[in-house]
Amino acid sequence: MTESVLDYMTRLGQAARQASRVLAQASTAQKNRALQAAATALDAARSELTAANELDLAAGRAGGLEPALLDRLALTPARIDGMIEGLRQVANLADPVGAIRDMSYRPSGIQVGKMRVPLGVIGIIYESRPNVTIDAASLCLKSGNATILRGGSEAIHSNRAIAACIQQGLAEAGLPAACVQVVETTDRAAVGALISMPEFVDVIVPRGGKGLIERISKDARVPVIKHLDGICHVYVDAQADLAKASDIAFNAKTYRYGICGAMETLLVDQAVAAAFLPAMAERFRAKGVELRGCARTCALIEAVPATAEDWDTEYLAAILSIRVVDGLEQAIEHINQHGSHHTDAIVTEHQGHARRFIAEVDSASVMLNTPTCFADGFEYGLGAEIGISTDKLHARGPVGLEGLTCEKYVVIGDGQLRGQNG
Amino acid sequence: MTESVLDYMTRLGQAARQASRVLAQASTAQKNRALQAAATALDAARSELTAANELDLAAGRAGGLEPALLDRLALTPARIDGMIEGLRQVANLADPVGAIRDMSYRPSGIQVGKMRVPLGVIGIIYESRPNVTIDAASLCLKSGNATILRGGSEAIHSNRAIAACIQQGLAEAGLPAACVQVVETTDRAAVGALISMPEFVDVIVPRGGKGLIERISKDARVPVIKHLDGICHVYVDAQADLAKASDIAFNAKTYRYGICGAMETLLVDQAVAAAFLPAMAERFRAKGVELRGCARTCALIEAVPATAEDWDTEYLAAILSIRVVDGLEQAIEHINQHGSHHTDAIVTEHQGHARRFIAEVDSASVMLNTPTCFADGFEYGLGAEIGISTDKLHARGPVGLEGLTCEKYVVIGDGQLRGQNG
């Protein structure tokens, strides 16, 4: 790491820490004013945003960036609309900061409760999708956290242009500029510095592929909210309504192949496999989904024989592995062993089976008669999400504003002393 | 690390993971039965416990262990009583596992709520205090977590004898023996292995001095619930009731010098310093507390001039640093800069000052008119505590049963599909 990048990041860190103290005390109205003003600024800066984005796109094309990455990089008018709309939506969300709960008297006479407060400073590391800059900045701002944003270097001009609009919003609301800082250098050492400053950064949220997240988690000295794979299952129980099961499984796989809540493996109780699988397979095949099956599956339908690897694979594509299981027990065992503890569903009308599946499947979201593709902060009512955590500590599942806060104890007395009140 | 220790720890890890699946589903009655039976077994094994402890004490004396450490190591009859009582208390605590909250309908028709579940497998690393074995095992068991206990090697015979009683309890309740495992080797490589198995261990709770905890946090590949220093402050505001302030400050310092909630620095508003400090100093001096003061303090009372280092020091002893501050603002600034974000108190009758202090002090516990020594899981109503977290993520402040659990989303539908319900 060169000295100058480290110095630069330390300066950002110190400024963020200072700004976080101000932002933590900002009123809801003030934070909303900043969000609304940033939205207005974005709307007024459409041509500047497009021009800046053109610089990134041209450099990307010249550098031979893949079409899929160029597509993500593009700030189309619709995406600018989306960013503006996103800012306004976040402004409309309830502010979690300051809520006090469970305040109660203890035998000693003191009152003890918990107050929700911002985490402090959040570092976001993401790939070259400029709209993430607004997503992340708005959620952190609303939850009272200062943020340091480190986007992919291919989007640097776009991110600077977006940052200028956010700065306008902060200024209009009278909030410090350092509430939202975009890392201006494309030097990779900046990431190393950002994840190694626990004195200035309270948590890192990486947004991007599994490789990025694993790399960051390995090296970070700051806690990381991780979002790893979604190897999601739908289990069709012996007591399932098979018509419902077909719709749920089809929706879980085909709503969108590329989302982490997409079903990757279908488990079917052997008692209903012969009745269920042929028509189900037909439906998937008509949609162009490649099927890979266990031996019992391949005896019932046409499918590529699945290898051991298939059960541990997140395809994120029009491929589905299918396994016929002996029953509920084996389904739960399969999910806990091969799944990624993200989102898993049972289809059944049997109350006892549903109860066991919900209790015993060790995943961030456990679903009954619902397709796994519902795993999403908006669908869950969080208003927005910064990611879906596959960690167990702190935040598990879709992470919204609450996941960007923590609780401190508030203790109120009137001179009670310890060891003197019985 | 020798191959055999790694193999041994892997075997423990695998067994713990398997046992955790069973324990997570155990009923409250079954877990309580195990706790009560372990208490009965301890009571029946007093002579074996004392004999095993004698082996440790003899080895400790022969090895030149310090008197303070020998004292911690000793299993006196009173400590055995304490362990038995502790088990029975934990059996009487409410079981947090399985509670479902905030289940509500979403616009799509699905119901979304959260269910409290065990973390899975918890590794506890502690020094040579055999009673911690019971503390930790009982809290983990009640919260449905399998646990691997690695106590100080000086206590190995005592820990084995205690573990035998826990095993009796588990057996009587029909729970797997691997729900609670005591590491049988004193090889230090066992700790390295334990903190590097995220596939088998979900969280590490180190219990001991700051050095131990920092070392473990640095090397761990598993999340750690940390309990670092308690540099706690009491701020006497200009609007304080000075009689109340004197009692609170005295209690905060002298209730026990060695606890993490003990006050280490007293901050006094300059407006009341002359009226408050002389009598306060007299009271501390009569108790044998050494006073170290800033320049303004030393102008009012007799005190050793404080150095910059004093403001950042956790004495855990009969020493107190005192600083006269300009007012509320400077007090908050001092605490956020020099404190350890553990527990800090204001003494005031001024509502606005209290409100600001509570909102702006960034500590796990923020107190009003209450001595900092109240920072304790029992006093807060948690029933028991496994430590006091100075982290912001997951658990902050005293950690009881709830801190050893997490929440998963439960989603219930009846065939609703995504993208098709408006």
Tens of pLDDT, residue by residue over A84-121, are 999 999 999 999 999 999 999 999 999 999 999 999 99
Subunit contact A393:B406, Cβ cutoff 8 A = yes
Measure A364 CA to nearest chain B CA, in Å: 5
Residue A290, Cβ density class (10 Å: 0-12 exposed, 13-18 middle, ≥19 buried): middle
Chain A residues 356-375 within an 8 A CB cutoff of chain B: 358-360, 362-371, 373-375
Instruction: State the Cα–Cα distance between residues A128 and B248, nearest whole angstrom.
Output: 55
Subunit contact B370:A119, Cβ cutoff 8 A = no
- Asked, for residue B421, whether it belongs to a domain, the answer is no
Q: What is the mean pLDDT of the segment spanning B269-285?
A: 98
What's the CATH number where A88 sits?
3.40.605.10
User: Half-sphere exposure of residue A57, counting CA atoms within 13 Å on the CB side?
Assistant: 16
- Tell whether A39 and A73 lie within a shared domain: yes
- Asked, for residue B422, whether it belongs to a domain, the answer is no
**Searching chain B, which residue's CA lies closest to the CA of residue A390?**
B408
- Tell whether A280 and A311 lie within a shared domain: yes
- Asked, for residue B220, whether it belongs to a domain, the answer is yes
Chain A residues 298-337 within an 8 A CB cutoff of chain B: 336
Structure tokens at A191: 């990431």
- Asked, for residue A387, whether it belongs to a domain, the answer is no
Instruction: State the Cα–Cα distance between residues B10 and A221, nearest whole angstrom.
Output: 26
- Tell whether B159 and B273 lie within a shared domain: no
- Tell whether B192 and B247 lie within a shared domain: no
Instruction: State the Cα–Cα distance between residues A163 and A149, nearest whole angstrom.
Output: 10
- Tell whether B340 and B404 lie within a shared domain: no
CB A36 within 8 Å of CB A170: no
Q: How many CB pairs under 8 A join A and B?
A: 205
- Tell whether B247 and B211 lie within a shared domain: no
Question: Which residues in chain A are closer than 8 Å to B366, comparing Cβ atoms?
Answer: 115, 408-411
Q: What is the DSSP letter of A321?
A: E
Helix (H) or strand (E) holding A74: none
How confident is the model at residue A421, as a pLDDT?
Answer: 55
Work out the mean pLDDT of chain B and round it to a whole number. Answer: 95
One-letter amino acid at B154 equals: E
Instruction: State the Cα–Cα distance between residues A186 and A183, nearest whole angstrom.
Output: 8
Instruction: State the Cα–Cα distance between residues B298 and A203, nearest whole angstrom.
Output: 41
Band of pLDDT at residue B209, cut at 50, 70 and 90: confident
Subunit contact B415:A255, Cβ cutoff 8 A = no
- Tell whether B210 and B324 lie within a shared domain: no
How confident is the model at residue B422, as a pLDDT?
Answer: 42
Name B291's bridge partners: B320
One-letter amino acid at B414 equals: D
- Tell whether B281 and B302 lie within a shared domain: yes
Subunit contact B393:A106, Cβ cutoff 8 A = no
Instruction: State the Cα–Cα distance between residues A306 and A224, nearest whole angstrom.
Output: 34
Structure tokens at B151: 């106590």
- Tell whether B198 and B306 lie within a shared domain: no
- Asked, for residue A61, whether it belongs to a domain, the answer is yes
User: Which residue range is the domain that position A71 belongs to?
Assistant: 3-225+398-410
- Asked, for residue B419, whether it belongs to a domain, the answer is no
Chain B residues 23-62 within an 8 A CB cutoff of chain A: 24-25
CB A234 within 8 Å of CB A347: yes
Instruction: State the Cα–Cα distance between residues B93 and A74, nearest whole angstrom.
Output: 56
Backbone φ and ψ for B125, nearest 5 degrees, come out as -120, 125
Instruction: State the Cα–Cα distance between residues A140 and A386, nearest whole angstrom.
Output: 9
- Asked, for residue A22, whether it belongs to a domain, the answer is yes
How confident is the model at residue B126, as a pLDDT?
Answer: 93
Q: What's the gap between Cα B76 and its chain centre?
A: 23
How confident is the model at residue A422, as a pLDDT?
Answer: 42
- Asked, for residue B112, whether it belongs to a domain, the answer is yes
- Tell whether A64 and A184 lie within a shared domain: yes
Instruction: State the Cα–Cα distance between residues A89 and A83, nearest whole angstrom.
Output: 10
Helix (H) or strand (E) holding A72: helix A67-73
Strands A111-118 and A405-412: antiparallel
Is it the case that residue B99 has pLDDT exceeding 70? yes
**Searching chain B, which residue's CA lies closest to the CA of residue A114?**
B365
What pTM, to 2 d.p., does this model score?
0.92
Q: Which residue has the higher pLDDT, A12 or B227?
A: A12
Tens of pLDDT, residue by residue over B375-412, are 999 999 998 889 899 889 999 999 999 999 999 999 99
Instruction: State the Cα–Cα distance between residues A304 and A211, nearest whole angstrom.
Output: 28
- Tell whether B265 and B183 lie within a shared domain: no
Report the 10 Å Cβ neighbour count for B65.
18
Closest CA to B119 of A159, A396, A410, A26: A396
How confident is the model at residue A2, as a pLDDT?
Answer: 52
Instruction: State the Cα–Cα distance between residues A365 and A333, nearest whole angstrom.
Output: 16
- Tell whether B250 and B154 lie within a shared domain: no
Q: Which residue do the tokens 């160029």 mark?
A: A70
Instruction: State the Cα–Cα distance between residues B405 and A393, nearest whole angstrom.
Output: 8
Q: Which residue numbers in chain A have pLDDT < 70?
A: 1-3, 421-422
Q: What is the DSSP letter of B301?
A: S
Structure tokens at A384: 């927005």
> In chain B, how many domains are there?
2
Closest CA to A45 of A178, A169, A144: A169
What's the CATH number where B282 sits?
3.40.309.10
SS3 content of chain A, % helix, strand, coil (to 5): 45, 20, 35
